[in-house]
Amino acid sequence: MALNGINLPLAFTAQEEIFRRVYKELGVTQNELDEHFAGPAFLAWGRMGNMRGWGGPLPYPSWYNNQLALQHKILKRMRGFGMKPVLPGFAGHIPPAIMKLHPDAKIMRLGDWGKFNSTYCCTYFLDPSDPLFHKIGSMFINEQMKEYNGTDHIYNADSFNEMTPPSSDPAYLASSSHSVLEAMQAADPDAIWLMQGWLFQDRAFWKQTQIKALLTGVPVGKMIILDLFAEVQPIWKETESFYGQPFIWCMLHNFGGNLGLYGKVEEVTSGSIEAHSTKGSTIIGTGMAPEGIEQNDFIYDLMSEMGWRSTKFDVYDWTDAYAERRYGLKDKRTQAAWKILLSTVYNCSDTHSDHNHGIPVTRPTSINLKYAIWYNIKDLISAWKLLLDASDEFQQSETYRYDLVDVGRQVLQDISYSIYMDIIQAYKDSDLVHARNSTSALLGLLNDADELLSSDKHFLLGRWLESAKSLGKTSAEKSLYEFNARNQITMWGPDDNIKDYANKMWGGLMHGYYRKRWDIFCDTILTTVAHKLPIDIKKLTSNVKEFERNWNHMLDSYPVEPSGDVVAISKHLYAKYGNSAFVWLPQHTEYRDNGSWREDYSGRSYSIF
């Protein structure tokens, strides 16, 4: 982070311990906090008031002590590098017990988020205008400064992130933001409030009047806005540069930590430059705010440079240099491969955002699944082939082997949609032979994908699960952490509330979870076609959900070490799929041709950079 110029990192670890101390002083018991704090894999959404308690309780005292020790190490390292850590502030989301202790306080329930049941939904919200808000907010900042030997004066709080405020009255919104900052400043007069701008994506509620009221309720310069999704939907352009408040131009890029190849190169390399050059702009920096960073290294390396650049540049020359840096040797084949990737998967020029709904990782309970794609799969296969052609020179390179798996994984994901559409056509035609062939082809592809993914340590489910379990000190803690790890990447909630939101194409998960779901689907298709019956979607869904619930509570282990040779497996799969009929995209696919972007891959015919 330091070497890439990041000087304003978030440091949110251990805030539950600070809140525990504050709430304990107010009379809240540990049992009552157990029902309030979300589990380890869902803390972010609990902290923002989206839901409460799911995945918990956090093991006491081991979790709290562990996180506090970790936070001290993080802050020491950040400050040692000259960074200014952003610490959490109080946003107003409280345990229900506060209502009993302070019956006269102005407390309300926020709305449902994610269709959670009443145990976990509808967070209790303390109105910022209430004196108790001021008290808790200042107590929290004071306790935090005491624990961490001071502060860097910047605090994050998101009262209404993906939650509808109790009122759209501009006066209420201005008063609320004023009170949030006031509570911070009661403990730290130099406090500055850092707030995500994601809430303004809700255009139904946040009209310009409401946005302006919230932002101008705080003196200019005492608030910093993260324009969180600026590479797709920049808010600064719609709000007169956040009505004077400083903002950071951010690339969100990734939702759920999905592994799909994706990027918006044109926006990434021009958006912050445009903001800097616009008269009256209040931009003060660039940032990244993804939900997962262990994918698409290319786009993060590129975005990391934008804080240093003020003019447009030749991104093709940059890509040539990137390929050389990544593999340690200049090679025309790898450079050509990366320029194809630049012009295709990394050049999504519409409003499509990176949330992977590929066939392998999508719940198979519909005969109308859709898959958005903005490039020609044949181009992606060409890049895969160019990488393979360089295997003699680079097969010992860890990054090269990773990229072989990653590009091959994307190819198989894309091809799977064609096979899925073949299955659906066979079902509609009541063609049993066709149904057998196409279902066999899909299940075979999923097996092949699992073999490919299992050949590289970075794509292993076992490493994820064992990492979670290793934090536990007792069997109960290990079981809780494993359940959190399993649930987040699959059902995401008690009743598949945001199912497959954080899906991962990982070895072990592909075969042990996704393939088994498709087994149920394919068996259903074959049975209905054989008996010439309509598919029973309700029964199919019930069977798939039963498997999912059972898997979430399993304790079976998965490999933590890779198996097989990446290069040999990749060559075999290229020979099997690279020139097959499956590479042709069916008419059902939402293919978006980016026109001039596909003129050639030399980079010399493009003038926009």
List pLDDT tens digits, range 71-88: 999 999 999 999 999 999
| Res 588: pLDDT | 32
CA 569 to chain centre: 29
Which residue, among 271, 276, 281, has the nearest Cα to 250 in the 3D structure? 271
Residue identified by tokens 């540069």 is 241
Q: 3-state class of 125 per DSSP?
A: strand
290, 263 contact by CB (below 8 A): no
What's the CA angle centered on 310, arms 309 and 314, to 5 degrees?
Answer: 65
| Res 350: pLDDT | 74
**Residue 344: what are its φ and ψ, rounded to 5°?**
-120, -85
384, 405 contact by CB (below 8 A): no
| Res 454: pLDDT | 98
User: What's the token pair of residue 530?
Assistant: 């054989």
User: Which residues neighbour 529 within 8 Å (Cβ) at sequence distance 6 or greater?
Assistant: 426, 427, 430, 431, 432, 435
Element (H, E) at 284: strand 283-288
DSSP 513: I
pTM of the model: 0.94
| Res 593: pLDDT | 35
Residue 190 to residues 136, 155, 226, Cα–Cα distance (Å)? 18, 11, 20
| Res 324: pLDDT | 98
- CA gap 27, 311 in Å, rounded: 56
- CA gap 524, 542 in Å, rounded: 12
Which residue, among 450, 430, 437, has the nearest Cα to 516 in the 3D structure? 450
Q: pLDDT of 410-429, one tens digit each?
A: 999 999 999 999 999 999 99
**Residue 94: what are its φ and ψ, rounded to 5°?**
-130, 160
| Res 604: pLDDT | 26
215, 200 contact by CB (below 8 A): no
State which residues of the chain have pLDDT below 70: 351-354, 580-609
The runs of H, that is alpha helices, within 454-604 are 461-470, 475-488, 509, 515-530, 537-552, 566-577
Label the pairing between strands 283-288 and 590-591: unpaired
| Res 399: pLDDT | 98
Torsion of CA 453, 458, 464, 466, to 10 degrees: 100
90-109 burial, b if ≥16 CB within 10 A, otherwise e? bbbbbbebbeeebeebebee
User: What's the token pair of residue 31?
Assistant: 């049992």
- In sequence order, what are the beta bridge partners of 254? 354
Q: What is the 3-state secondary structure (H, E, C) of 198-262?
A: HHHHCCCCCCHHHHHHHHHCCCCCCEEEEECCCCCCCCCCCCHHHHCCCEEEEECCECCCCCCCC
CA 435 to chain centre: 36
| Res 607: pLDDT | 22
**Residue 287: what are its φ and ψ, rounded to 5°?**
-155, 170
| Res 353: pLDDT | 65
What is the maximum span of the chain, computed from C-alpha positions, in angstroms? 75
Residue identified by tokens 């497996």 is 569
222-260 burial, b if ≥16 CB within 10 A, otherwise e? bbbbbbbbbbbbbbbeebebbbbbbbbbbbbbbbbbbbb
